[in-house]
């Protein structure tokens, strides 16, 4: 049962990442993603592998304004 739940969690994260990719266009300079910490940690790894995208923590944005 634990294996099934883990695979469903990973499937859900991949689905979220897929939806983000489909929504982002070349014209978009920035996007903001609000999710729970476990989902964000997973998505950050995928986003960091994309050479066209960069992750920035919200606290960094707040400190610079």
With bands split at pLDDT 50, 70 and 90, how would you rate the model's confidence at 61? Answer: confident
13-22 LR contacts (CB < 8 Å, sep 24+): 13/39, 13/42, 13/43, 16/43, 17/43, 17/46, 17/47
Please state the domain count of the chain: 1
Which residues constitute the domain of residue 9?
2-64
Give the pLDDT band (50/70/90) at residue 57. Answer: confident
In terms of Cα–Cα distance, which of 30, 38, 37 is closest to 56?
30
Span 15-40, mean pLDDT?
92
pTM, two decimals, is 0.80
The reported pLDDT for the residue numbered 27 is 94
How large is the average pLDDT for residues 3-23?
A: 94
């Amino acid at each position: 049962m634990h294996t099934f739940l883990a695979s469903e969690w990973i499937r859900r994260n991949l689905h979220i990442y897929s939806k983000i990719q489909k929504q982002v266009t070349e014209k978009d300079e920035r996007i903001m993603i609000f999710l729970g910490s476990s989902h964000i940690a997973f998505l950050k790894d995928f986003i960091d592998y994309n050479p066209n995208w960069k992750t920035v923590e919200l606290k960094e944005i707040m400190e610079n304004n």
